[in-house]
Structure 1
Amino acid sequence: MQPVREVIIIGGGLAGLTAAIHLSRAGLYVTVIEKHSYPRHKVCGEYISNEVLPYLQWLDADPAVLSPAPIERVCISTVTGKKVETRLPLGGFGISRYTLDAFLMEKAVHNGVNLLQDTVTNISFVNEQFAIETVANGTLFAAQAIGAYGKRAALDQQLKREFWEKKSPWLAVKAHYRGYFPDGLVALHNFTGGYCGVSKVEDNIINVCYLVNYDTFKNYKNIDEHRKEVLYENPYLKEVFSNSEPLFDRPLTISQISFSEKKKVDQHILMTGDTAGLIHPLCGNGMAMAISSAQLAARQILQGQPRAILEKEYTRNWQKQFGKRMKAGSLLSSIFMHPWLSGMTMGTVVAMPALLPVIIRQTHGQPLTVKHNN
């Protein structure tokens, strides 16, 4: 029989690797199971709020060494081109998942984290320990398990998670480009059936990532036709694409993206990042939330509480930190997907631009606190 490991983390993205670095730093023996190799591009807005910067620095994982693109301003536009721009309350930076995930992986391995490239097929909880079934490494046992495997995976179906049965109409598309886009800016441009984020990452690369309702997308032959017929209706998006050259052979896509409520502790597994809940990309704060949730999970495990208290406290702290943001994100998405409401809201914000930072604060948090006993 395999020995019982202290912590097994399923998924080696932002949340999984950050939690692994935190726990290993505290002296725990951590195993991360990730099915893909590094480095790898992912569908992601690739903007991170500075709220997590003190925490990353505390972990000795300061992204400054990766030369990220500093971002200080945000611009929002409607389909018709009505636009408002303001400074971001905290600011942030752009960094590709290709670069950042590989960087965090190297930090984790350097800390002694055991990284397995494997696929988890099932998880069960018996006699106060987890039995984690994998394709290549058999069944592994752990005292604690963290779920950090992303937005939607076959494992969710195997675990019979409630949201799995709910169909979602959302399709996400992402690609990198080389061309002109202003420094220091993250733009959120609305189009019929969706919205698109544009900002720079390292090496002056432009990241374009958008979310579209599949019912509108399916009326077109392919991504290129949809882009030219629909996204180009917004003059700012047309300008971005017309003045840029793609760096990918073809865009990356993810379908069935679910914004449904998810349990934060499911079958005794502490869920983090998108596995615990996905904020609408319009808010541009998913990466920071993933990192923040990793801190919450690591702190909770390190307190050494009885399982029932650990799970209750993690759920309570998650809701306290992210609950209002999730509701605000859902409301903002609903407004911007409705042409009349979007136009009215943008008209109000254009007339009173001081409102925009107030709206942004509803989906962002304060800088994460770090202590020696974290």
Structure 2
Amino acid sequence: MILRNEVSIIGGGLAGLTAAIDLLNRNYDVVVFEKNEYPKHKVCGEFISNEVLPYLKKIGLDVESLHPKNINKTQLSTHSGKIIKGKLPLGGFGISRYILDNYLYKKVLELGGKVVKDSVTSIDFLDDIFSISTQSNEIFQSKIVLGAFGKRSNLDIELNRKFIKQKSPWLGVKAHYSGNFPNDLVGLHNFEGGYCGVSKVENDVINICYLVQYESFKKYKNIVDFQENVIFKNKNLEEIFKESNLLFENPLTISQISFEDKPKIENHVLMIGDSAGLIHPLCGNGMAMAIHSAKIASELVDDFLQNKISRASMESNYISIWNKTFKKRLQFGKFLSKLLLNSYLSKITMNLLIAFPFLLPIIIKKTHGKPL
């Protein structure tokens, strides 16, 4: 039996669930495919810029009910531990993916959306209709498919995406901790081969998430050895880790994180969130970008389904708007990453910021957008 609906969203993470809620509010028949159960922890910085708050409220989401931490300050440190502090121009909030994704999932169900707990194995497009096959041999047909399957997926291989064929040097590690850390602060701390973000989420939990080049990590037997021999050389990080208690049985990891350019359309599938492109976590804006991309896609899908624009126009407009909105941020994020991972250049940069502190908010604005 073939099941039919108007919109299929492959991936029930932040971007996919947000797009589902937006389109359900517009009275479309939406199915979300997600192989994992809710709630679930993910490797993520868990900080969201306040730029997305107006949009979240518009689509009926009450983030405050989840008791996030309101964050308006930032702190940077180099390998040597030198610190610079500043204010976040727009501010943001700390919320775990465990809580947030589950909240969005329940909202999708509340609005009448369907969530299929299964893996998608193939997507075919013929005669202006998508056919989606799942691991349990079900077939769904849709007018629209949004790809929200994250940083890397088997579907990237199925769609023959170029970036998936290239090895990426990045490894992400994340865990929750108990301990003392300011509620209103997000810290970004450099160490040799990577950088680490620290901030509070709901329930006074500290989220510590770091990105490291695999070449640097593989020299050590395990995460504990790596942290003690590399991360703790930054005394700020050593103090945070040693004064905190791990709440997970083990830290979560994800390898092969790619920051290469990704096509925004693949076989007429509109890519949103990390499937469309990933900003370096040091910019602290990946979650906001995922939400914003869901908004852009939902508005264009609405125009298409109302026959206001053709499929070709929808696709070209999506690429154009996505690039206009995010391309410079991604480029600046890559530039910052290279700068901060070079010990000599990061030292010069930090000295410059200490001498001219007004530059820090300007740099932050380069990776963030205006309120939606």
TM interval, shorter chain, is: over 0.9
Q: Deviations over 1:69-109 (max 9, x none)?
A: 11000111100011111110000000000000000011111
| 1:346 aligned partner, one-letter code | M
Cα deviation for residue 137 of structure 1 reads 5.1
* Structure 2: tracts of 5 or more residues without a match: none
Matched, 1:349 2:353: yes
Q: Pairwise CA RMSD of aligned residues?
A: 0.7
Matched, 1:220 2:256: no
> Take 1:76 and 1:122, find their aligned partners in 2: how far apart are those partners?
44
Cα deviation for residue 136 of structure 1 reads 2.1
Q: Deviations over 1:187-216 (max 9, x none)?
A: 000000000000000000000000000001
3-state SS of the aligned residue for 1:92? strand
Equivalent residue for 1:66?
A: 66
> Take 1:95 and 1:241, find their aligned partners in 2: how far apart are those partners?
20
Paired residues of 1:179 and 1:243 also in contact (CA < 8 A):
yes
Matched, 1:364 2:368: yes
Paired residues of 2:168 and 2:256 also in contact (CA < 8 A):
yes
> Take 1:169 and 1:19, find their aligned partners in 2: how far apart are those partners?
31
Equivalent residue for 2:290?
A: 290
> Take 1:136 and 1:300, find their aligned partners in 2: how far apart are those partners?
31
Equivalent residue for 1:12?
A: 12
Q: How many residues align?
A: 368
Matches within 5 A, 1:184-223: 184-223=184-223
> Take 1:114 and 1:224, find their aligned partners in 2: how far apart are those partners?
42
| 1:144 aligned partner, one-letter code | I
Matched, 1:310 2:317: no
| 1:131 aligned partner, one-letter code | S
Matched, 1:254 2:258: no
Matched, 1:324 2:324: no
Paired residues of 1:118 and 1:137 also in contact (CA < 8 A):
no
3-state SS of the aligned residue for 1:65? helix
> Take 2:284 and 2:136, find their aligned partners in 1: how far apart are those partners?
36
Matches within 5 A, 1:133-172: 133-136=133-136, 138-172=138-172
| 2:325 aligned partner, one-letter code | Q
> Take 1:2 and 1:24, find their aligned partners in 2: how far apart are those partners?
22
Equivalent residue for 2:128?
A: 128
Cα deviation for residue 5 of structure 1 reads 1.4
How high is the TM-score relative to the length of structure 1?
0.97
Equivalent residue for 1:372?
A: none
Paired residues of 1:124 and 1:132 also in contact (CA < 8 A):
yes
Cα deviation for residue 124 of structure 1 reads 1.2
Paired residues of 2:3 and 2:139 also in contact (CA < 8 A):
no
Equivalent residue for 2:337?
A: 333
> Take 1:343 and 1:49, find their aligned partners in 2: how far apart are those partners?
27
Equivalent residue for 1:112?
A: 112
> Take 1:62 and 1:358, find their aligned partners in 2: how far apart are those partners?
30
Paired residues of 1:47 and 1:94 also in contact (CA < 8 A):
yes
> Take 1:31 and 1:183, find their aligned partners in 2: how far apart are those partners?
37
Q: Deviations over 1:7-52 (max 9, x none)?
A: 0000000000000000000000000000001000000000000000
> Take 1:35 and 1:296, find their aligned partners in 2: how far apart are those partners?
25
Cα deviation for residue 3 of structure 1 reads 4.2
Cα deviation for residue 286 of structure 1 reads 0.3
3-state SS of the aligned residue for 1:303? helix
| 2:299 aligned partner, one-letter code | R
3-state SS of the aligned residue for 2:221? coil
> Take 1:351 and 1:221, find their aligned partners in 2: how far apart are those partners?
40
| 1:301 aligned partner, one-letter code | V
3-state SS of the aligned residue for 2:199? strand
> Take 2:91 and 2:108, find their aligned partners in 1: how far apart are those partners?
27
> Take 2:240 and 2:226, find their aligned partners in 1: how far apart are those partners?
15
* Structure 1: tracts of 5 or more residues without a match: 369-374
Q: Deviations over 1:107-141 (max 9, x none)?
A: 11111111110000111111111111101251211
Cα deviation for residue 59 of structure 1 reads 1.1
Paired residues of 1:53 and 1:62 also in contact (CA < 8 A):
no
Percent sequence identity over aligned pairs: 53
